[in-house]
A = this chain, B = another copy of it.
Amino acid sequence: MAAARRMVVVGGDAAGMTAASQARRLQGPDELEIVAFERGDFSSYSACGIPYWIGGDVAQRDDLIARTPEEHRERGIDLRMRTEVTALDLDGGRVRARELPGRGDGSRDGTGTGDGARSGAELREYWTEFDDLVLATGARPTRPPLPGIDAEGVHGVQSLEDGQALLDALERADRRADGAALRAVVVGAGYIGVEMAEALVRRKYEVTVLDQAPQPMTTLDPDMGELVRESMCDMGMEVVTDAAVTAIETAEPDAGGRKGDGREGDGRNGGRVTAVTTESARYPADVVVLGLGVAPETSLAREAGLPLGASGGLLTDLAMRVRGRENIWAGGDCVEVLDLVSGRTRHIALGTHANKQGQVIGANIGGGYGTFPGVVGTAVSKVCDLEIARTGLLEAQARAVGLQFVTVTAEATSRAGYFPGSRPMRVKMLAERGTGKLLGAQIVGREGAGKRVDIAAVALTAGMTVEQMTFLDLGYAPPFSPVWDPVLVAARKATAAVKERG
């Protein structure tokens, strides 16, 4: 018996497969057929976990896979791996899919999770009709067109395939070690760059982090970013800012130790990386990691004429329907989300949003109802024992939407001052002039710092003023907090600043 309707999902990671799973929970195979296409080798994995896998915190790649293709299929989802959607025919209600070569081709390590079975068999290309289409095509890493960018030894860390390739390269290098320290250059000092820098330090690399901005972590205000720089230097990383990369230098692969590993003639051009150059300096490198952030992968959507925002992300309504389309849905790293503080849409690539949006899409397609109300821009990261968190708007972001505000920073401790393990942290807060409404918060500290940003995230969502926040009834006991929680200390200072400024 054919199902009454067919849901087609493009992209087999967080948003797409959460949508598929949620729809399946609500409707059985008789009501809803679900077909999902994934062009890669892995489904439902945690890209956020890749730095920790590379650094050794996470023992093996499969730990990062929440649900394998086989598990999805057991739940009644027809997930087709290594199958790329090449065109959307929205008026015709169909998508074109093309099976990709599986194992054994030169550009892959053959590490797929069992979906290379078609290798050698005929590769099909076909149209599939849909009643509801879910676009969950994710994001692609920024990869500037620099000389040498495709050299051997230059790695992205966006996908598990990327991670595996980097890990293989690091392990070969580890084995080669001839006494001299290996050198890594990380391009980009944002979350991923900084997390990767830590991973490489843990692997005993000499690490240099380059960023064209004047500070690391441009997701923070400059003053807070400087705290991160100091800590990175304490960890033994070289941090170079105002450093735009001009080229990646390469040499022909040398023969020593490289022969017989099957990597020659693998289609890479330009030989092996030897250094990264900026306008003013040259940084020798055995490995280069690109951590330059990501952009929405919406080329299919663009070709199909779907509405895109300034970042190139798909624009949706609150139910996660693509704007103006009844049966086209989108979620995850390929969409723009509503920023509840600025009122603008933004591109924020985060697994937690992708999951929630997928949940909403699945509920709506499955006959339920849900909306994704938007975000406040919360992010946390950990580098060694440094915890870095933000929510809401940075100063520049607040100015860009015409907001006037006061800022304060407060120094406080994670526990009662007398309690063992109490660690200092700095909390910065932005509050609107006049109204005193919280606009944003940033926290840099050690253990106990990062997740405190949640207090500000909830307060932002609720539209609280910093004065209201001052009296929040937060959990207090000496092992958890001083009598005045660090967030309350900052809120109290911000309240005074709002009153003073008027």
Q: A473–B48 contact, CB under 8 A?
A: no
Q: With A and B bound together, what is the CA distance between A63 and B476 in angstroms?
A: 18
A476-488, CB under 8 A of B: which get 1 and which 0? 1111110111000
Q: B375–A473 contact, CB under 8 A?
A: yes
> Chain copies in the assembly?
2
In the complex, which residue of chain B has the Cβ closest to the Cβ of A477? B380
Chain B residues whose CB sits within 8 angstroms of the CB of A180 once the complex forms: none
Q: With A and B bound together, what is the CA distance between A376 and B480 in angstroms?
A: 18
A441-454, CB under 8 A of B: which get 1 and which 0? 00000001011111
Chain B residues whose CB sits within 8 angstroms of the CB of A48 once the complex forms: 416, 476-478
Cβ of A139 within 8 Å of any chain B Cβ, yes or no, is: no
Given A418-B49, A418-B58, A418-B63, CB of A472 within 8 Å of CB of B480? no
| Shortest beta-carbon distance from A502 to chain B in Å | 15
Q: With A and B bound together, what is the CA distance between A312 and B470 in angstroms?
A: 27
Q: B474–A457 contact, CB under 8 A?
A: yes
Among A372, A461, A470, max chain B CB count under 10 A is at A461
Q: A478–B419 contact, CB under 8 A?
A: no
In the complex, which residue of chain B has the Cβ closest to the Cβ of A63? B418
| Shortest beta-carbon distance from A14 to chain B in Å | 7
Q: With A and B bound together, what is the CA distance between A474 and B353 in angstroms?
A: 10
Q: A419–B454 contact, CB under 8 A?
A: no
| Shortest beta-carbon distance from A132 to chain B in Å | 22
Cβ of A355 within 8 Å of any chain B Cβ, yes or no, is: yes
Cβ of A144 within 8 Å of any chain B Cβ, yes or no, is: no
Cβ of A381 within 8 Å of any chain B Cβ, yes or no, is: yes
| Shortest beta-carbon distance from A13 to chain B in Å | 12
Cβ of A455 within 8 Å of any chain B Cβ, yes or no, is: yes
Cβ of A420 within 8 Å of any chain B Cβ, yes or no, is: yes
Among A372, A453, A458, max chain B CB count under 10 A is at A458
Given A377-B473, A474-B352, A483-B352, CB of A454 within 8 Å of CB of B455? yes
| Shortest beta-carbon distance from A40 to chain B in Å | 19
Contact of A477 among B382, B457, B462 (CB under 8 A): B382
Cβ of A350 within 8 Å of any chain B Cβ, yes or no, is: yes
Chain B residues whose CB sits within 8 angstroms of the CB of A353 once the complex forms: 473
